[in-house]
Amino acid sequence: MVGTRGHLDTNALNRFSGWAAARSGKDLHIEAWIDGRLAASTKTGGERPDVERRLPGYKRARFSGFTLELPESAISQDRLVDVKITARADGSLAPKAWLGTASLAGDALLDKLASAPRSGITGPFPPAIIDIIAAFDPDVTVDLLSLAGQKRFVAALRKILLVPSLREIPALADYARYLSAIAAHFAFVDRFFPTANKLARPGSADFHGKPNSVAEIMSIAHQLYVLKAHGIEGDFAEFGCFKGFSSSMLSFACKQLDLKMHIFDSFEGLPEAKHSGYTEGDYAGSLEEVTENIRRLGSLEQVTFHKGFYADTFREYRPPHLMCLWMDVDLEVSAKDMMVAADRLDPRASLFSHECVADMFADGEIANAPRPDNPIPPVLDRFEELGRPLTGHHLHGHTGAFWPRSGGIPVMHHDALMELQRVLQKEVLK
């Protein structure tokens, strides 16, 4: 409607408030439409001095406020409805101005989701979130392993998160808070972590202090939440930290979840490994440098450092019980030396590695050939020896996810997680 301005400010308990003003100075009819039918109406008239200051040329701007209440009968008790709020001047043929659309849930649906029964479904989402979606749309939980199935799950979760009364359910709010907090912190670390490795030798690959990406680390942080939500106990371990870029992000995630984090590194760079393409001492970050980076940009209080080459560290020491492991060790020999940690991983635990490419994975199978610069075969071999053969998939960049084929907790596909983050940042928290 030409010359009409307005805004839908709030809605709660089936009540809507906002303002609408016409340049003509006439009061306006405010209408709520559901499924193409008029559900309730009122008129402007409430005092809004703030609008008067904003629109000095609108004669009745001071009295542009409104409160509109929907009758309970207008909201179906067991479904979501979209309520479109419009403003129009007198006259049945007068064009309408759209003020906003809000999604509302019936009380029966709210009660159903808030007290969702245990579904017993295991997947790459927190169990309480799976239970809520199973109560909302059970067909969406049939396939939680494929990317397409996970995207359908996220689409159903989006519908719920866009409804204020539903997203306030504690399990949903806790999940959203964690994802929002780590996304904000990881973006901060990415902007302020030292980029250049001033000690890099000419032509080396370690000239950049951030060898992995926020998107890769986000998948690990999400899985930590999922594992803890499934009741899996243990600490988190990182093998190979370089300057502490991923450590600064993941220690913060551990802080949110009250998890202990162990960092294993020589702090002198890679060991000698012939025919690997690396030079002894590549990717070196001193313990003092890494400690300071995590102190400034992460959560140092969560971290215990274990300094030394893995063959020396594990000559007598054994890690604590672990729920998850992240390795960026580059070399076959390093992976062999650290595989004593596999014995300490929970049978349902997850493992992430930064030495992966997409064509390693096909239909849950992992194809890999031994090479001096390939740490994956020793990992696969050790888990076969333990009777826990691994499956997994590529995530993003050079990072892949692994978990025991039988009984392990699967990891969400990268694209599905990024879609969930987009929904939170662009639609729910906008």
Domain of 357, CATH number, reads: 3.40.50.150
Cβ–Cβ under 8 Å, residues 213 and 201: no
Same domain, 33 and 177: no
Unique residue bearing structure tokens 């390693």? 360
Tokens 């306006």 locate to 28
Same domain for 226 and 336, yes or no, is: yes
Same domain for 192 and 291, yes or no, is yes
pLDDT above 70 coverage of the chain, percent: 97
Domain end among 105, 134, 160: 105
Look up the domain containing 16 and give its range: 4-105
- Tell me, what amino acid is at 1? M
pLDDT for residue 79 is more than 90? no
Which CATH number belongs to the domain containing residue 96 in this structure? 2.60.40
The burial of 384, by beta-carbon neighbours within 10 Å (0-12 exposed, 13-18 middle, 19 or more buried), is given as exposed
Cα end-to-end span (Å), the chain: 26
Q: Kindly state whether residues 209 and 67 are assigned to the same domain.
A: no
* Residue 319: predicted pLDDT: 93
Is 11 in a helix, a strand, or coil?
strand
| The model's pTM | 0.92
Residue predicted with more confidence, 196 or 375: 375
Shared domain check, 76 and 186: no
The answer as to whether 137 is a domain residue is no
Domain presence at residue 310:
yes
Closest alpha carbon to 375 in 331, 338, 326, 339:
331
* One domain, residues 75 and 212: no
Task: Write the pLDDT tens digit of every residue in 222-260.
Answer: 999 999 999 999 999 999 999 999 999 999 999 999 999
pLDDT reading at 302 higher than 80: yes
Same domain, 226 and 325: yes
Please state the domain count of the chain. Answer: 2
Does position 132 have pLDDT exceeding 70, yes or no? yes
d(C-alpha 217, C-alpha 373), whole Å:
22
134 assigned to some structural domain: no
pLDDT at 157 > cutoff 90: yes
Boundary residue ending a domain (73, 105, 137):
105
Does residue 156 lie within any of the structural domains?
no
Average pLDDT over residues 316-344: 94
* Same domain? 209 vs 313: yes
389 shares a domain with 275: yes
**Which DSSP letter does residue 417 get?**
H
Of 37-46, 91-100, 108-117, 282-291, the poorest mean pLDDT is in 91-100
Asked if residue 301 is part of any domain, the answer here is yes
**39 lies in the same domain as 185:** no
What mean pLDDT value characterizes the chain?
92
- Cα–Cα distances (Å) from 45 to 10, 331, 366, in that order, read 17, 73, 68
Is 31 a domain residue? yes
> Position of tokens 């990891």?
411
CA distance 396 to 51: 48
- Assess whether 87 and 228 both reside in one domain: no
Question: Average pLDDT for residues 45-64, to the nearest whole number?
Answer: 94
**According to the model, what pLDDT value does residue 201 have?**
76
CA–CA separation, 236 vs 426, rounded Å?
A: 31
Question: Within a domain: residue 205?
Answer: yes
pLDDT tens sequence across 165-188 = 999 999 999 999 999 999 999 999
> Do both 287 and 399 map to the same domain?
yes
Is the pLDDT at 66 greater than 80? The verdict is: yes
Question: Measured between alpha carbons, how far is 136 from 33 in angstroms, rounded to an integer?
Answer: 24
124 located within any domain: no
Domain boundary among 46, 72, 105: 105
